[in-house]
Structure 1
Amino acid sequence: MRLPVLTLQSAPREPSRLVRRSVRQVVGTVLGLMTGTLLVLTALLALIRIRRPLQAARRWEQRRLHRFHRLRLVDDGAEPEFLGPGRAIVHGLLAAVLGYVMGDLLLLVAAVVLGSLTQLLLGGPVTMEFDAWTISRPALAVLVIFGTSSLLAAALYAELAARLQRALLGRWTTVAREDALESRISRLLTTRRGVVLAIDDERRRIERDLHDGVQQNVVSLSVALARARRATDPERADELLEQAHRQSQALIEEVRQVAWRIYPTALDEHGLASALAGIAETCPVPLTVENRIEGPPPRAVESAAYFVAREAVTNVVKHAGAGSASLTLTSSGEGDRRVLRLVVRDDGAGGADPEGGGLQGLARRVAALDGTLEVRSPLGGPTLIIAEIPYA
């Protein structure tokens, strides 16, 4: 699901951040050719008891990893003793090979791009000769196509190089990637705005319920009582009072339904299963509820799952034209990390719009808890709404 786009003042500028990251990693990978080679050479010296050069090379390599790849080791700032001579040779060889390939790639890119630019200025085509054939293309086409694809290839290769080095170092010590924090902050800013929008949507819905339902019934009740007070015929007055009594009972039920839609007391008193059973009892469409969760999840997760289920079932009743629906609740995972999975399925006409206001509100509510919402609704049905919410 796509969440609302934030303003540039609200979140980091993602394209520029990705460009800076790619350039930084390309430079860091090329520098790995130098630091990796030094690491191998100094590690060989350490095998014959000359250890000081290895200590300096390890510090340089650590700075390269931190500055250009944002890889922070657990003992950052101290001597990385886990990287002994044997491991230093392995890591240095990997860094040097990755750096050599990146340097060769950049050299090839520079040669073709500069050559294409020169041919473009001279007004001639770019000709590439092979033993089997010769290719001649306009210089502008070669410059645009090859230049763009080569830059993308360099960025992807630098990302792969960083991951390989992180994987190797991760076998010996704990490695944290600091730029992951930037993505996390960006997502938190997005979900925070989503929470605010979801709260505003909920307030507008409550206002509509009160205005269109409760307020109208209160006005009708007030009019019936006023007519009963003015009636001179006792039988007519009794009839109006009976009407007012019926309207008061309907008003009590309306207020109860509004309160239930705001937050059901059964959720606190009896848990999520009972609250979902209440949805099934009042649903005009036959709804089956299957609960396979082990132990009660946190209250915030229960609340989010309940509102997702209620809104999804409401959409089934209003728009799907379904003959039946089902609601399945499961939990998975082990230890401190578990996931609550809620699936609402109907046999209606399908074609639900994931970008609609109601489904976007559900996506924002789930994203606020680091969850995801997926909508599968091909034309002709069936429609599946799948919410997954992690919890500890």
Structure 2
Amino acid sequence: MRLPDLSAIYLPREPARLLRRSLRHIVGTLAGLVLGPLLVLTSLLMLVRWRGPFARVRGWELRRLQQAYRLQLEDGTGQFLGGRRALLHGVLMAVLGYLMMDLLLLVFAIVLGSFTQSFYGSPVTLEFDLWVISRPAPAVLIIFGTSSLLAAALYAEFAVWVQARLLRRWTGIVRTDALESRISRLLITRRGVVVAIDDERRRIERDLHDGVQQNVVSLSVTLARARRAADPERAAALLDQAHSQSQELIEEVRQVAWRIYPTALDEHGLASALDGVAATSPMPVQVDVRLEGEVPPAVESAAYFVAREAVTNVVKHARADHVRITVVTVTEPDRRVLRLNVVDDGIGGADPEGGGLQGLARRVAALDGSVSVDSPAGGPTTISAEVPCD
């Protein structure tokens, strides 16, 4: 019989880290008992085009895989987890979680029974087909309780291996310690940054071709007509028209440059740049920026572009009446992060796999940050970004 290859599973040598790892895996496997049926149910709701609950549960499952099992997926959006795959994965999660619950209930029964039996002072007799074991209750607690806990820890490792084996068939996956996880994530985000840069170049080319170039051609035609005009009044009118077109061209170039990178961000900071987004938006935008301490320019830039793209999507698709942008810095025990929330009161149903949001997610991921979208049908839609400031 071929044994499973567990060489990819990193086993920390320090007992404390090993204990934390086992507890994390046990809790993660138990969480599958709840998330598994939810994933199956919401994937069935997709048949009637109710996508909001499934996207939310899928996000919970991705966080479970990342936080409990430390599984770093190449497809961080979870797009691979849909249809029959979601059903299979959900059923597997539920079965593994149910067996884990049975093991823990066995441990609880042994502990409770041993403590209860200790009050009576009589030994505990366990009868098997070929032998009989008679031991004091504390001995049963130590021997069988410890063995059951060890079995639960080993079973949790098996559950991680089974789910990782299945996920490897659907997407790239790396299970590592903290250092290797960071290396693998950097390799993934590096590819994403290249894609984001190419997307940005194509957008700039479209802006220049569809906007600036057309206005330059129109201005050139107007000036040529003015030069050929025999009537002085006609020539003067064409020159006035050319002057108006040149002003529009200047404004168009300014807008293209502003979309590439706003000078206000460097000169006056993130709050001023977001005020500019609010001023140019056709709908009311409330901006609340509370930054404590120095924020790196790259972090401010990422937050600005996420907010601007989010507002643009609201204007185009959400049919909202109001948008609120909130930016704060939060100091956690081991790091300081910038958190951005863009909330609108529109119709909801935003697609987190949209091209614009995916490009921003890749930009933020390059800074070890993350972007999430919560947009149930009927709204409200919340786009959140979290970027480390260290």
Place the TM-score, normalised by the shorter chain, in its bin. Answer: 0.5 to 0.7
Compared CA separation, residues 216 and 357, structure 1 to 2 (3 A): same
Higher relative contact order (CA 8 A, sep 6+): 1
Q: Which among 301, 304, 324 is matched to residue 303 of structure 1?
A: 301
Question: Match for 1:243: what amino acid?
Answer: Q
CA contact (8 A) 1:25 1:159 kept: no
2:132 alignment partner in structure 1: none
Equivalents in 1 of 2:153, 2:226: separation in Å? 83
Q: Which has the larger radius of gyration?
A: 1
1:186-221 per-position Cα deviation (integer Å, ceiling 9, x unaligned): 111001111111111111111111001000100000
Question: Structure 1 regions of 5+ residues with no counterpart?
Answer: 1-16, 33-104, 106-129, 132-150, 161-176
CA contact (8 A) 1:340 1:388 kept: yes
Report the 3-state secondary structure (helix = DSSP H, G, I; strand = E; otherwise coil) of the residue aligned with 2:353: coil
1:252-296 per-position Cα deviation (integer Å, ceiling 9, x unaligned): 000000000001111111011110000000000110101111134
CA contact (8 A) 1:195 1:365 kept: yes
CA contact (8 A) 1:376 1:385 kept: yes
Compared CA separation, residues 18 and 243, structure 1 to 2 (3 A): farther
Q: CA deviation at 1:233?
A: 0.7
2:358 alignment partner in structure 1: 360
Question: Structure 2 regions of 5+ residues with no counterpart?
Answer: 19-102, 104-127, 130-150, 161-174
Query: Does residue 224 of structure 1 match 2:219?
Result: no
Compared CA separation, residues 152 and 366, structure 1 to 2 (3 A): farther
CA contact (8 A) 1:214 1:251 kept: yes
Compared CA separation, residues 232 and 18, structure 1 to 2 (3 A): farther
Query: Does residue 21 of structure 1 match 2:19?
Result: no
Equivalents in 1 of 2:329, 2:219: separation in Å? 47
Query: Does residue 348 of structure 1 match 2:356?
Result: no
1:87-124 per-position Cα deviation (integer Å, ceiling 9, x unaligned): xxxxxxxxxxxxxxxxxx9xxxxxxxxxxxxxxxxxxx
Equivalents in 2 of 1:234, 1:313: separation in Å? 48
Question: Match for 2:363: what amino acid?
Answer: R
Equivalents in 2 of 1:178, 1:283: separation in Å? 45
Q: Which among 286, 290, 293 is matched to residue 291 of structure 2?
A: 293
Compared CA separation, residues 189 and 255, structure 1 to 2 (3 A): same
Q: Which among 293, 316, 319 is matched to residue 318 of structure 1?
A: 316
2:189 alignment partner in structure 1: 191
Equivalents in 1 of 2:376, 2:176: separation in Å? 40
1:248 alignment partner in structure 2: 246
Equivalent residues in 2 for 1:19-58, closer than 5 Å: 19-22=6-9, 25=11
Q: TM-score by structure 2 length? A: 0.57
Q: TM-score by structure 1 length? A: 0.57
Q: CA deviation at 1:335?
A: 8.1
Query: Does residue 329 of structure 1 match 2:316?
Result: no
Report the 3-state secondary structure (helix = DSSP H, G, I; strand = E; otherwise coil) of the residue aligned with 1:20: coil
Aligned identity (percent) is 71
Question: Match for 2:8: what amino acid?
Answer: R
Compared CA separation, residues 25 and 298, structure 1 to 2 (3 A): closer
